[in-house]
Amino acid sequence: MMSDIVAIYGSPRRKGNSSTLLKRAVAGARGAGVNVDEIVLRDYKISPCLEIYGCKKEGECAIKDDFQVIRDRILAARGLMIASPIFFYTVSAHVKILMDRFQSLWVKKYWIDQTPFNAWTPTRKGFVISVGATRGKKLFDGMMLTMKYFFDVLDMELWDSLLCRQLDFEGDVETHPEYLEAAYQRGRDFAAAVREG
């Protein structure tokens, strides 16, 4: 299925804080009339990158599992909304495992096709949602740096991010209607931005 936007749920908790926010963003995007393809990462079997560099030949990952299905769905879309909790100051393991398998596309882009660094045009847009328990200023810095280079591989520009501190237990976000509202509105605005191209 060709979709306008793919929404990736990166928390192991189906009803966790980042999932709740992403669900609101998906509702906002759908309300704006775009197709959204939802992917709950914990429902897929994806091996970590094994660094065998089978991808050196043609940019195709040698490990055959659910990665290929998810990769094709992401590459078919013009926008990506991705939600991750902060785990040890970066993305969740589910998200990181997916990201590392995209090394096959990095190899294609920079080694096989020899695209010069910083000399490509973004063709897609990305929207990041993240939540963490603490309130530190640098809480999202590591995660955002990781996202930046993940988006680079996908020829994607960061459109915006919704970063919410001091959310820990499942359901905590429900006591913050302002976050839920922001997620809905950002989802709606992201849909408009993706449609405009």
Ligand X SMILES: Cc1cc2nc3c(=O)[nH]c(=O)nc-3n(C[C@H](O)[C@H](O)[C@H](O)COP(=O)(O)O)c2cc1C
Footprint on this chain of ligand X (rule: CB under 6 A): 11, 13, 16-19, 85-89, 131-134, 139, 167-168, 170
Cβ proximity to ligand X, 72 vs 168, nearer residue: 168
Cβ proximity to ligand X, 89 vs 110, nearer residue: 89
Residue 19: CB minimum distance to ligand X, A: 6
Residue 169: CB minimum distance to ligand X, A: 7
Residue 5: CB minimum distance to ligand X, A: 20
Cβ proximity to ligand X, 13 vs 73, nearer residue: 13
List of residues 6+ apart from 80 with CB closer than 8 A = 5, 6, 7, 8, 74, 124, 125, 126, 127, 154, 156
* Cα distance between residue 17 and residue 23, in whole Å: 10
